[in-house]
Amino acid sequence: MKTKLLTALLTIVASTTLFAADSPAVGTNAPDFSLTDSKGKTQSVSQYKGKYVVLEWFNPECPFVKKHYGSGNMQKLQEEFAGKGVVWLSIDSSAPGLEGYLTAEQANAKMAEWKTKQSALVLDPDGKAGRTYGAKNTPHMFVINPEGKIVYEGAIDSKATPNPSDISGATNYVKVALEESMGGKTVSNANTKPYGCSVKYK
Amino acid sequence: MVPNWHTYWKFPGDAGIPTEINWKLPEGWKVGEIQWPIPLKLDEPGDIQIYGYHDEVLLMQEITPPASLSGNAVKLVAEASWLVCEKICIPGSANLKLDLPVASQSGSVNEEIFSRYRRSLPQNWPDTKVARSTWQREGNELRLTVESAALANYPAADFFPLPEPSVVVSHPKTERAGDGKIIFRVPIETDDKNVSALKGIVIFGQNQNGPDRNAWSLTTAVVSAAAPSMPDAFWKYLLFGFIGGFILNLMPCVLPVISLKIFGFIQHAGQDRRRILRSGLAFVAGIFAWFIGLALLLISLKSAGREITWAFQFTNPYFVVGMSAVVLVFALNLFGVFEISLPQFANRGVLGWTAKEGDAGSFFQGVFATVLATPCTAPFLGTALGFAFTQSGWTILVMFVAIAAGMAFPYFLLAAQPAWLRLLPKPGPWMVRVKQLMGFLLLATLLFLLAVLGAERGVEAIIWTSCFLLALSLACWMKGAFIIPTASATSRFISIVVVLVLVIGSGYFFIGQKFAVAKTVSAETAAHGDWQPFTPQLLESEVKQGHAVFVDFTAAWCLTCKFNEAKVLESAAVRDAFQRHGITKIKADWTNADPAITKILKQFGRPGVPMYVLYPGNNAEPILFPELLTQNLILEKLETVSAQVAAK
């Protein structure tokens, strides 16, 4: 017993991950970034203060992204909320040489091909915005209210599969969050586990 | 799978989705859940952590036929879908068919692969005698404590969570907290305060993702049954606290004051036994008063959400100035410059306080000795406090009382059994000399305190503090020379006024004005030899690059730190070894309570410095050294660790 106590004192303590880059918590101020979009315009979160902003992490090669664009689901959502004054920024954080990396021309071509309706497709090849937000999936969704606070973070909807046929039966968390928040309510499901491909950082 | 591609575990981690199998079975057939082998934990850039399988995986399911079967053969059909990723992700699916003959006897096939994968399944949680688990919710963190001697032999231990779909968790952190005791901290991101436990598996093996790993699965049901494991450990920690308190008596910073007390006992040796007892008990009461006061302060700070740590008061320069003044006044008293006497009104006492001057003096000596003791985090105390700081207010209080009891124990014995004092020498004129000698010991303590101030605030701060101390000495001398019963009332009054003006005026001018503007010495400008000053970014980047890093968490006021640095870290043998193993040396100077350093201390469960951590490189788990270092300890650890890392 005595030696046990002594060894207890001299035992080694270990800890695995020291620095976890977690997403900023729901309810906190949305961090800012300043990046160029596919049209060459500068995009930041702060410039849209006073409006709702949706951030959508995007990778055109990811099957989960294709699920929502191929079915027209994402475009429909973008169009619906654009009509309500919501700014929608799709962000591509894939590093050059990795899956989903887009040059400005490729990005514009993809937007035309898919007939996307977002406000802008922001190019983040260094992963700056992605790491600031702790974006880990494509799609990974954030909803920011007019005061600049994050009101939703997580998945696009409730069915974590790559099958477009699952969209119809799923609850779209982003739509619910926007509707609740715009209606002056607190978002009932403000933090969900995002699903998709990992963001392809360098 | 093609090398480096992976599929996902039941809980995929930050990205991906688990493999799904949907069976289409004939009437009456039943299928069990997928039995998931222990997955690998894989890191991707961007702090993305996933759980999955490389190369090959067998997902077993148990299929039970109905009691009786007709026909010659049966067809079992399943639809499997999965996501396989490397740099890119590809969803896959397949329709699987299996035709089995119906027979009265069974014949097995593929036994090798089945038995191999059965061995890599997590086992049921063992008997509570073997391993106990407790969950605790602290704010946005769930803490799983696993106590099992069996785990002590496995350097790699981890917790893979299996949260309910509605619960979002972040990366669990592993922390070894003693012999076979491991704490896993799981940040909970969902805003649901009712989540009090998670399902998951506890993995242990020789190294992370190694082939020899085992796992115990933790279902929430086991958790509640294991709750009463606390009291046992609690008594153990109380014992550490008591022993640690006792050892505090021997620390260099307290020794001078303690000698004073022993000396007091000698003086009273021939006197009334009750008087000795009272003076001894007053001293003991002083010790308790300080520790209980400190505990209450810590509890209130903790509940106010402040970062609290051991000896935190020494990080406040004004506290150190105050201590310097007290130490000097005591020293002058010992030299015979003046006598300490409590004012008349205190003696008379409106509430009929009958305590004699000697008792009050003993009480404050007790307080004083204990105040000086706090920066010496004795080895035992570290463990006890590390435990207490993570606990509730009551636990902290009880813990501090245990430490006070340990420290007070010898005086209590001497006071209760003055017969033992006969072992000490007889009183005589030599006592005056010893008293003066003790005064010099206190002056040495003063030098140490000034050195601390210098490290915190620079040379100017030492100068202004010394000016204040000089004025204070003059005031003490005036007190001894003029404020005496034989002097006339007028001259006593004038002297008191002069003394007050000296103390308050010099305090206001030198400390309030001059000292206050002396610049804080930043960690970057302090000289550290070949050690690099700590920044979180430096540590993170060194560790991420796979370098081996040794971090010395130290402070100017920490004597144990200075001792370790002089005798061990700066010794030729250890310096050579650091160089030979190519270790990056970082010094984290906590003299001014840098919050970034406080955060890391807390991550390792330590309430204060010293702390020594070796990050062995290649993402191996960091190793924490005990608070008292020896050369051998460092050298041995460096050898074994670098051998292990190289083997990896």
Please tell me which of B218-222, B360-364, B389-393, B499-503 the model is most confident about, judged by mean pLDDT.
B499-503
CB B605 within 8 A of CB B386: yes
pLDDT the model gives residue B257: 61
* Contact pairs from chain A to chain B, CB under 8 Å: 152
A84 domain residue, yes or no: yes
Report chain B's mean pLDDT, rounded to a whole number.
78
Q: What is the ipTM of this complex?
A: 0.77
Tokens of B381: 């105390």
In the block, which residue shows the tokens 């309810």? A27
SS3 A48: helix
Nearest to B400 by CA among B290, B313, B291, B298: B291
- Most confidently predicted of B294-303, B372-381, B478-487: B478-487
pTM of the model: 0.49
Mean pLDDT of B467-475: 92
Residue extent(s) of CATH 3.40.30.10 domains in chain B: 532-647
| Residue A26 belongs to some domain of the structure | no
Region A122-140: what's the mean pLDDT? Answer: 92
Q: Is residue A12 part of a domain?
A: no
Which residues of chain B form CATH 2.60.40? Answer: 6-119, 123-225
In CATH terms, the fold of domain B6-119 is Immunoglobulin-like (2.60.40)
Give the residue ranges of DSSP H helices in B157-211.
Answer: none
Nearest CA to A69 among A111, A33, A13? A111
Closest-CA residue of chain B to A22: B170
Mean pLDDT of the region B302-326: 66
- Could you say which of B170, B181, B624 has the minimum Cβ distance to residue A22? B170
Nearest CB partner across the interface for B15, out of A23, A99, A197: A197
Between residues 82 and 141 of chain A, which touch chain B (CB distance below 8 Å)?
93, 95, 98-99, 127, 130-131, 134-137
Distances in Å between the alpha carbon of B531 and those of B43, B254, B535, B544, B586? 30, 30, 12, 19, 5
Peptide bond into A139 cis (omega under 30): yes
Q: Which domain CATH number covers A130?
A: 3.40.30.10
Digit-coded pLDDT (tens) for B547-570: 889 999 988 777 678 778 888 888
pLDDT tops 80 at residue B201: yes
> B37 or B545: which carries more pLDDT confidence?
B37
From the CB of residue B546, how many other CB atoms can be counted at a distance below 10 Å?
13
Number of compact structural domains in chain A: 1
In a domain, A5, yes or no: no
Three-state secondary-structure class, residue A158: coil
The pLDDT of residue B223 is above 70: no
> Which tops the pLDDT comparison, B456 or B490?
B490
Mean pLDDT of B433-449: 79
- Among A136-140, B175-179, B623-627, the range with the most confident prediction by mean pLDDT is A136-140
- Give the pLDDT mean for B225-250: 64
Mutation target to probe the B interface, by most B beta carbons within 10 A, among A10, A15, A138 is A15
Rounded to a whole number of angstroms, the distance from the CA of A25 to the nearest CA of chain B is: 7
- On whether residue A40 sits in a domain, the answer given is no
CATH, domain range B123-225 = 2.60.40
Provide the domain limits for residue A182. 49-198
Confidence at residue B188, expressed as pLDDT on a 0 to 100 scale: 85
Residue A27, in any domain of the structure: no
Record: fold of B532-647: Glutaredoxin (3.40.30)
What residues have CB less than 8 Å from A98, skipping those under 6 apart? A200, A202, B87
Using pLDDT thresholds of 50, 70 and 90, give the confidence band for residue B307: very low
CA B381 from chain centre, in angstroms, equals 10
Helix, strand and coil percent figures for chain A, each rounded to 5: 30, 20, 50
pLDDT exceeds cutoff 80 at A65: yes
How far does Cα A90 stand from its chain's mean position?
A: 8
Residue A87 lies in a domain: yes
